[in-house]
Amino acid sequence: MQRTQAENTRRQSRYDGIIEIDPDFAGAGVRVGIVMARFNLDICEGLLSACVDELLQLGVAREHMQIVTVPGALEIPLVLQTMARSGRFDALVALGAVIRGETYHFELVSNEMGAGVTRVGLDTGLPIANGVLTTEDDDQAIARMREKGADCARAAVEMANLLKVIR
């Protein structure tokens, strides 16, 4: 008897009589859109490289990925929204780096970008992995870029698979 994806990811949980859904990192067939800011480009390219490498490791096909670049972090939510509404993706990834400077601009960009990314996900029902680093300096961003990029790939695939099961 052949089991569905939903049946494969459900198991008896730690609590009697309650079904628990396991994380599913199988990327085969998952379509992922990536939006990358070009401001702080070296860090953003590091995030992108780690993200794409991990997506490939998870089994996401190159032809199921699309990369779009935007000038900076504040432009990310609009492009995510457009991609989400296209119906062509199972999950999206936002990549960028906002590094503290000497003005209030850091807080403005970080807060508005984060709220925008969250709003797009909630409004469209499409999972979005937020990989926009907000750090005090370049060294912190460089130290985090590889792990954060890979983490976003895992989150995007896991959430795409989870939503397929619970819908």
d(CA 13, CA 17): 8
Residue with tokens 């972090």: 73
Residue type, 141: A
Given 20, 38, 105, 147, the catalytic residue? 105
105 is a catalytic site residue:
yes
Reading phi first (left if > 0) and then psi (alpha if -120 to 50, else beta), residue 132 is in: beta
Contact 94, 80 (CB under 8 A): yes
> Helices (DSSP H) in the chain: which residue ranges?
5-9, 41-58, 76-86, 105-124, 138-166
Which residues are within 8 A (CB) of 85 and not within 5 positions of it... i.e. 6 or more apart?
124
Contact 91, 157 (CB under 8 A): yes
Residue 59 three-state SS: coil
Catalytic residues: 105
